[in-house]
Amino acid sequence: MKNNLNESAKFFAHYLKRFKVALFFILVFTILATWLQVKAPVYMGRSITELSKYLMTYLNPMTKSQASLADFHQALLLFGLFTLMILVALFINGLLQAIVAPKAVNDMRTGLFAKLQRMTVRYFDNHQDGEILSRFTSDLDNIFNAMNNALFQILQQVVMFIGVIWMMFNESPKMAVATMATTPLVVIVGIVIMIQAKKYVDIQQAEVGHLNGYINEQINGEKVIITNGLQKDSIEGFVEHNEKVRQAMVRSQAWSGVLNPIMQGLGLFNLAIIIFFGAKLALTGDVASRATGLGLIVTFVSFSQQYFQPISQITSLYNMMQQAMTGVHRLNDIFNQDEEVNPKNGVQFAGVQHDIKLQDVHFGYNEEREIIHGVDIDVAKGEMVALVGPTGSGKTTIMNLLNRFYDVTSGAVLFDDVDVRDMDLTALRDNVGIVLQESVLFTGSVRDNITFGKTDATDDEVIDAAKQANIHDFIMTLEHGYDTEVSDENSVFSTGQKQLLSIARTILTQPDLLILDEATSNVDTVTEEKIQRAMDNVIAGRTSFVIAHRLKTILNADKIVVLKNGRIIEQGNHEALLAQNGFYAELYKNQMVFD
């Protein structure tokens, strides 16, 4: 809790330091509004005192002629004036807060998004999209709610608490003690309820998390559920989770819900004490002291409300603060993640001149398990290398090392004898084009999607790239051609078409080194052939690494590297490997049977 508090304080200090001036005025107006608020009851009491003095004088036939309402009017006017000033101060304060909170949360959101762009591929490989997205949604929402409703409120309440105590002792120490008499009871009851409420709110949040997880899983698996006729079981599972949420909610709401009525009850009890002591003063002494006693009752009834308000407000804001602190912790979890390391004065890479080498490369995604065990590959400029091997043999992992998504554990990846770790990252990535198995399209037009890596490309260049990628004819069949929006429901692209678009995108950037993860497994034979021709076009004359699942696509490769369990077991061209009659030959024969 203490750590969380420290962490949150640092976090808010960091994001609020930009708003020093606004915060200074918020503080000034908070103090001003609070001072006016605690001072107002004094004038309210004074007007009652003056009114009772007037009444007592007026009702006595001996003094009736001296009775005057002038002092009463004056006190009432001052009370009215104070109320008006309170309204103005609170209004300005509210306005300043309404500017600061959204701006600060905006900064957090931008900072978080920018951080994501600097992070390593490792993080994205190991975390689910939904998990990352929730930092932008529920965590930032919780922080915003707390800033908007709790952070400044707490500041106001603390100032109010101190101010009202000071003012009460100033007016009447005896009545002040009477007002504060029930404080220990209120604090103990408040803490007990808060602890219980927190316990059940935590359980409720955990149950809601389980329910969301279940819904997510079921929606993702909807096709499997429908295919297997499991709709009824799916609903039953849902009802079970939903019921657990309900039970937890009843308990948490019951505890959170009793807080306010109990606090109000204790507040009323306190009023009775104040009236009792005040009445004692009002029923003794001369006219003036009796009138003052009556005024004090009115003043302290108001003080009592102001005194209890911070205690009950802070307890009811506690949950909101807790959720915000959890949010801060989860945001910091991302802010503290490793970033990609770009060497200072890194070697600028302007294209492969001689060769690319993997030299005795060892690598594991974690320390416990090595995946690549001493791999050596040497590729001359302009050559095409195909990586083949059973699933999980390490093909994608080698691609990840070439583009420096991950760093080798030992050994080296060398471009013209320069270690990729010594190269300028941007220069490296600018020269490496990757076509992934899963092609991603972004919101925007077909043209935007092709020019993604080269936004200043001319129309002719775009059309030329699309033609080389065998997707131009299809684009021309669309109503709006290159201006077709890809997110439009009427223009849903197939897996094969997406891959062709992504090949066109790569062709446009004219990369020096190409990495292709073949995705022909999910497409029909016509599209497969189109992809094959597009790939041939993009590979022509370039140094390229191709992960091949279908061997007939790599028969022309200069070198075929056969991997098994992270080791190279065979290496050579198609003919040489067939002649070896080993693992590759076996694999090839098996595939030919199916093709």
> Which residues are near ligand ATP by CB under 6 A?
125, 365, 371, 389, 391-397
Please answer whether residues 509 and 475 qualify as being in contact, where contact means their C-beta atoms are separated by less than 8 angstroms.
no
Q: How far is the CB of 235 from ligand ATP (least distance, A)?
A: 35
Residue 579 structure tokens: 């002649």
Q: How far is the CB of 397 from ligand ATP (least distance, A)?
A: 3
Q: Where are the alpha helices (DSSP H) in 135-230?
A: 140-145, 152-171, 173-180, 183-220, 222-227
User: Which CB atom, from 512 or from 518, has the smaller least distance to ligand ATP?
Assistant: 518
User: Which CB atom, from 41 or from 394, has the smaller least distance to ligand ATP?
Assistant: 394
Q: How far is the CB of 361 from ligand ATP (least distance, A)?
A: 13
Alpha carbon 462 to chain centroid, angstroms: 36
Say which residues have a Cβ less than 8 Å from residue 498's Cβ, sequence separation at least 6.
439, 440, 441
Integer Cα distance of 491 and 485 in angstroms: 7
User: Which CB atom, from 176 or from 399, has the smaller least distance to ligand ATP?
Assistant: 399
Helices 152-171 and 20-59: crossing angle, nearest 10°?
30
Which residue's structure tokens are 């992934």? Answer: 436
Q: How far is the CB of 547 from ligand ATP (least distance, A)?
A: 6
Q: How far is the CB of 366 from ligand ATP (least distance, A)?
A: 6
User: Which CB atom, from 96 or from 516, has the smaller least distance to ligand ATP?
Assistant: 516
Q: How far is the CB of 502 from ligand ATP (least distance, A)?
A: 17
Q: How far is the CB of 193 from ligand ATP (least distance, A)?
A: 46
Phi-psi region of 581 (alpha: psi -120 to 50; beta: other; left: phi over 0): left
Instruction: Give me the sheet containing 355-363, strands edge to edge.
Output: 372-380, 355-363, 410-415, 418-419
Q: How far is the CB of 354 from ligand ATP (least distance, A)?
A: 27
**Amino acid (1-letter code) at residue 15:** Y
User: Which CB atom, from 67 or from 587, has the smaller least distance to ligand ATP?
Assistant: 587
Task: Report the b/e string of 73-85 with b at 16+ CB within 10 A.
Answer: eebbebbeebeeb
User: Which CB atom, from 154 or from 398, has the smaller least distance to ligand ATP?
Assistant: 398
Beta-ladder partners of 379: 356
User: Which CB atom, from 83 or from 437, has the smaller least distance to ligand ATP?
Assistant: 437
Residue 198 has a CB neighbour count (10 Å cut-off) of: 16
User: Which CB atom, from 343 or from 392, has the smaller least distance to ligand ATP?
Assistant: 392
Please answer whether residues 291 and 324 qualify as being in contact, where contact means their C-beta atoms are separated by less than 8 angstroms.
no
